[in-house]
Amino acid sequence: MRHALIDEAALAGWLARLVETGRVMAPVRRGRVSFDFEWIDDPRDVALEYIRTVLPPKKAIMPAREPLLEFSRRGGLGAREQSASPVIDERPYVLFGVHPCDLAAIGMLDWSMGRRDARPDPHYLARRSAATIVGIECMPDRYCFCTSVGTCNTRAGADLFLTPVDGRYVAEVLTRRGERLLRKAPKLLRSTAGEAAKAAAWGHEKAERTTLRLAAQAPELADLIDSRWESDIFDQTAERCYSCGTCTNVCPTCFCFDVFDELDITLAAGTRARRYDSCQFEDFAVVAGPHNFRGERADRVRHRWFRKFVYLLREYGQAFCVGCGRCSHACTAKISLVDVINAVVAEARGSVTG
Amino acid sequence: MSTSAQTSPGAVDPGLYSPQLATIVGARNLTPMDRVFVVELPGRRDLGHKPGQFVQVSIFGYEEAPISVCSPPQQRGSFDLTVRNMGGLTAQLHRMGPGDRIGIRGPFGKGFPMESMRGKDVLIVAGGIGLAPLRSVTDSIFMERQAYERLIVLYGTRTPADILFPETLEAWAADPRNEVLVTVDVPTEDWTGHVGVVTTLFPKAHIDPSRTVVVALVGPPVMYRFVLTELRSIGIPEEQMFFSLERRMRCGVGKCGHCQVNNHRVCTDGPVFSATELRHMHESI
């Protein structure tokens, strides 16, 4: 594996070149403490020292609103002249500055939208293959718990990975695509063994600084939570929850969507588009009748924990959560994902021994 | 338009969400609420479905709705859909007739296990519009009547006017190998048949639990619980009972999350589940 060293000036030149020659999505500062992944016009906007973005970099691969089809219904409803064609976006881009937890989340989306089924999602896979991904090392805050879900040192999914060392970055080349991207940097320095050691030490320090922990891990975690279907903790959590859907909207592993037809002003043509949906919304599981299979807020709250830590955990082999802390950080009601899990786990262990 | 019919499993189909433009070649009202359509795919290609599977019907501007196929696979060149007018897309569909084009994706899901019914008595339990999709099963049986033993149809609707196929039910009842019992919740003055929910028909039917396979689609979730309890009490083994669940399948291909019931996605793992499977699905009924 090749390593190189990039100094601040070379990084700035490299980013400028990437923005000039192609599309780049990277974190930018949106407020005093908030950051977001944005398409970059001015490379000086890129803010690589961030803790977490509001929305995860998932938005590059699976945007909040995404066209699936362009349709024409010229001649009216039912007319012979109707047509539809899929919208597949294969334009290449660079996704720059992705933290290890978010790399792990992209791996989970690759599975859920691609490998999990006999029918992979063409829109997701096109955007995914069009991406060159540059990962970057981070330091946790009190919402992070990547060490509990095994995502702390994820490199898979990245083509290049950057670790800050003494005001410069050690760049780790992970794929040929990453190698080609790195060649666009104006000046690369040779990375010494000392810098490689410092880069490795970063990972250890990060793990030490990650103090928030899940009380159980996969696969045991699924059995513990599954044993507490009737737990009052979900009811108590529901009493605080507003069903606003913020937790799922900011989640890097959530992939539920709804589909809407948007007509243009002529009413003769339009776009069938999907948008993020949330299992926390009251009407998510409504069917004709009408009947709502998760009409109680507590049912929806429980569904969120069960889906990530029981159902998908058992299918995928790991919790469907990367420990990024976005949901707890963004929650209107200050509900902590970790607190709920740990309370349920404690209850499960108590009821097993007692 | 979609190339899904030609794409092998696992390959990336750019038209995964693209409907084929199909033609309505026949349409008639069964009740003021329910209309049946005969639909042809381009080139009169067979849909290739199994009884119990569904398609996504599409009208541009009105998204899609999952509709069960109600004709048997043996019907070549076209297939039938029975649609209740519930507003939105279904209201638009009710305004359509022969010559109109609609979008079709599918078929999706797993159907009823026809193989396990061969050589057995088949008990059909239908509530309301549930009889329509179950006709894909009954009509399959009639295509090969000798492969199955007795056919028992228990059907409950709200009023006599809601009975979907009255003449067809009478024709079935005329065959001594069949037993057809119909009940209504709200009788009219001239109604001489049974009154009450569909479960009140169980004691009246001649059911041999050891040799009977049940398929059921009974409408509101509470009815599933009653039917399941009743079937258990007459001694039918759970692995011989199959229920088709109604959920809001949005994508049909296991992605969108809307039809998730516990660890199952109804669109790909169902919509047909055995009672054994339902036992582990708290949210199912």
* Residue B218, domain member (yes or no): yes
Alpha-carbon torsion B92, B93, B97, B102, what sign?
positive
Task: With beta carbons under 8 A apart, name residues in chain B contacting A288.
Answer: 84, 86, 246
User: Which one of A83, A122, A293 has the shortest CB-CB distance to B283?
Assistant: A293
pLDDT for A56 beyond 80: yes
State whether B23 and B76 are in the same domain. yes
At B10 the pLDDT is: 63
**Does residue B264 sit within a domain?**
yes
Closest among B218, B210, B209, B199 to B278, alpha carbons compared:
B218
* Mean pLDDT, range B222-249, rounded to an integer: 90
ipTM of the complex: 0.91
In a domain, B206, yes or no: yes
As beta bridge partners, residue A262 has A271
DSSP H helices, chain B, are 88-94, 131-143, 166-173, 221-233, 266-269, 275-278
Residue B2 placed within a domain: no
Size of interface A-B (CB pairs under 8 A): 140
Average pLDDT over residues B208-215: 93
State the average pLDDT over residues B37-59: 97
pLDDT at residue A65 is higher than 90: yes
Residue range B22-27: average pLDDT?
98
| CA-based max dimension of chain B | 59
Q: What is the DSSP letter of B175?
A: S
Please indicate, yes or no, whether residues B120 and B177 belong to a single structural domain of this protein. Answer: yes
pLDDT at A291: 82
End of a domain among B61, B89, B107? B107
Neighbours of A58 (CB within 10 A): 24
pLDDT tier at B6, thresholds 50, 70, 90: very low
**How far apart are the C-alpha atoms of B58 and B103, rounded to whole Å?**
4
Mean pLDDT computed over A276-300: 89
**pTM of this structure:** 0.94
Average pLDDT over residues A192-211: 91
Residue B160 lies in a domain: yes
So what's the pLDDT on residue A1? 58
User: Are B118 and B90 found together in one domain?
Assistant: no
For residue A48, give the 3-state DSSP assignment.
coil
Q: What is the CA radius of gyration of chain A?
A: 22
Please give the single-letter amino acid code of residue A101. Answer: C
Minimum CA–CA partner of A293 in chain B: B283
Classified as helix, coil or strand, B203 is helix
Residues 92-151 of B with CB under 8 A from A: 92, 95-96, 99-103
CA neighbours within 13 Å on the CB side: how many for A318? 18
What pLDDT does B247 receive? 85
The average pLDDT across B227-256 equals 92
pLDDT at B255: 94
B74, B107, B140 — which closes off a domain? B107
**C-alpha span between A294 and A297 (Å, rounded):** 7
How far apart, in whole angstroms, are the C-alpha atoms of residue A129 and residue A159? 12
Distance CA A192, CA A5 (A): 9
The residue range of the domain holding B151 is 114-278
pLDDT of residue A191: 85
Q: In this structure, how many other beta carbons lie within 10 angstroms of the beta carbon of residue A249? A: 19
Q: Minimum mean pLDDT among A231-240, A281-290, A331-340: which range?
A: A281-290
Burial class (CB in 10 A: 0-12, 13-18, 19+), A95: buried
pLDDT band with cut points at 50, 70 and 90 for residue A190:
confident
Minimum CA–CA partner of A80 in chain B: B101
Yes or no, beta carbons of B15 and A119 under 8 Å apart: no
Q: Which residues pair with B124 in a beta bridge?
A: B153, B215
Residue B5 predicted with pLDDT over 50:
no
Q: How far apart are CA A244 and CA A223, in angstroms?
A: 28
* Nearest chain B alpha carbon to A288: B86
CATH number of the domain at B133, please: 3.40.50.80
Which of B46, B78, B107 corresponds to the end of one domain?
A: B107
Alpha-carbon gap, residue B126 to B130, rounded angstroms: 5
B246 and B273 both lie in a single domain: yes
Does A89 contact B at CB distance below 8 Å?
Answer: no
Task: Label residue B1 by pLDDT band (50, 70, 90).
Answer: very low
Q: Which of B1, B255, B279, B282 to mutate to test the interface with A (most CBs of A within 10 A)?
A: B255
Cβ of residue B51 closer than 8 Å to a chain A Cβ? no
**Helix boundaries (H) for chain A:** 8-21, 58-61, 100-110, 122-129, 176-182, 193-209, 220-226, 232-240, 246-249, 297-306, 312-316, 326-330, 337-353
Instruction: Please indicate, yes or no, whether residues B181 and B271 belong to a single structural domain of this protein.
Output: yes
Q: Does B50 share its domain with B178?
A: no
Residue B46 falls within a domain, yes or no? yes
Give the Å distances, CA to CA, from B197 to B122, B133, B200, B215, B223: 20, 20, 6, 17, 9
Predicted confidence (pLDDT) per residue in A131-188, tens digit = 999 999 999 999 999 999 999 999 999 999 999 999 999 999 999 999 999 999 998 8
**What per-residue confidence (pLDDT) applies to A164?**
95
Does residue B200 sit at the A interface (CB-CB below 8 Å)? no
Domain total in chain B:
2
Q: How far apart are CA A63 and CA A67, in angstroms?
A: 9
Cβ atoms within 10 A of the Cβ of A287, count?
A: 19
Domain co-membership, B139 together with B36? no
- Can you give the pLDDT at residue A47? 96
Candidates A140, A112, A135, A136; CA nearest to A124 is: A112
pLDDT digits (tens, 9 = 90+) for A89-111: 999 999 999 999 999 999 999 99
B252/B172 same-domain check: yes
Residue A290: pLDDT over 90:
no
The verdict on a CB contact (< 8 Å) between A291 and B258 is: no
Distances (CA, A) of A63 to A46, A167, A257, B112: 20, 33, 11, 37
Confidence of residue A349 (pLDDT cuts 50, 70, 90): very high
Q: What is the mean pLDDT of residues B142-171?
A: 94
Same domain, B44 and B61: yes
> What is the overall mean pLDDT for chain B?
92
Q: Kindly state whether residues B100 and B224 are assigned to the same domain.
A: no
Strand partners, A65: A275
Residue partners of B171: CB distance under 8 A and separation at least 6:
none
Q: Residue B68 sits in a domain of what CATH number?
A: 2.40.30.10
What are the angstrom distances between the C-alpha of A349 and each of A231, A235, A345, B150, B170?
13, 19, 6, 52, 60
Residue A293: per-residue pLDDT: 85
Residue A85 Cα distances to A263, B21, B105, B220, angstroms: 15, 11, 14, 37
In a domain, B189, yes or no: yes
B4 in any annotated domain: no
DSSP lists the bridge partners of residue B44 as none
What average pLDDT is seen over chain A? 94
